[in-house]
Amino acid sequence: WNEAYSWSNVNCCVHNVVVGKLWIEQLGTMEIKNHSNGYRAILDFKEASSSQEANKVFGIVENDEKKVRYRLFGKWNEFLKCASEEDYQLCMQQKHVNESMSSHDRNSKKLFSKLNSFKMPSFLGVNIQDDLVGTSELKSLSLNEDADISSDIKSALLWKCKERPAYSSKVNIYLFVQNLLNNTRD
């Protein structure tokens, strides 16, 4: 393909070295540049400030004119997905519409509950709290609460981590490497 890439590394932080459960965190910004066509990716590895943010990575892919072409998202220890900028913007617009509709719906329900509290015979035959707008359909279109990107957005899976074999906790990789280094062939 005749392509040359350069990239910057992110920081790797090892937590609980002395006491507690050992875990690794990748954080910071990584830039990957394709020198043959000028495209570059900028990935932001989020700091694990909460369990929901742990291992998340978000990024963009720009062309040589600095126009965003793709959005990248996922978890660095599980998967990485890619969506076109058009699909991402459409998803964000839909999220904004859903949020404004849900806040309008909450305000309407408060008003309707006040009106329902009045004892007027003309209101007795009508239940004005019925879902006339179809807000249940709007809620199904909304984005996941714990993610910035919806699982419904049209995206391509770029990478997925292979699961560990069931016996992996019993294997000591150092013994394997030690045997390779110490066994000399005559």
- Mean pLDDT, consecutive 10-residue stretches, the chain (186 aa), reads 91 91 92 95 89 87 95 93 92 80 60 51 40 32 40 85 83 73 72
9 located within any domain: yes
* The pLDDT of residue 126: 38
20 located within any domain: yes
Q: Which domain holds residue 58?
A: 5-85+150-171
164 located within any domain: yes
139 located within any domain: no
165 located within any domain: yes
* The pLDDT of residue 125: 40
12 located within any domain: yes
DSSP track, 14-78: EE-SSSS--EEEEEEEEEEEETTT--EEEEEE---SSTTTTTEEEEEEE-TTS-EEEEEEEETTT
Q: Domain holding 74: CATH number?
A: 2.40.160.120
* The pLDDT of residue 51: 74
Number of domains in the chain: 1
107 located within any domain: no
58 located within any domain: yes
* The pLDDT of residue 182: 80
* The pLDDT of residue 102: 66
* The pLDDT of residue 131: 36
* The pLDDT of residue 93: 85
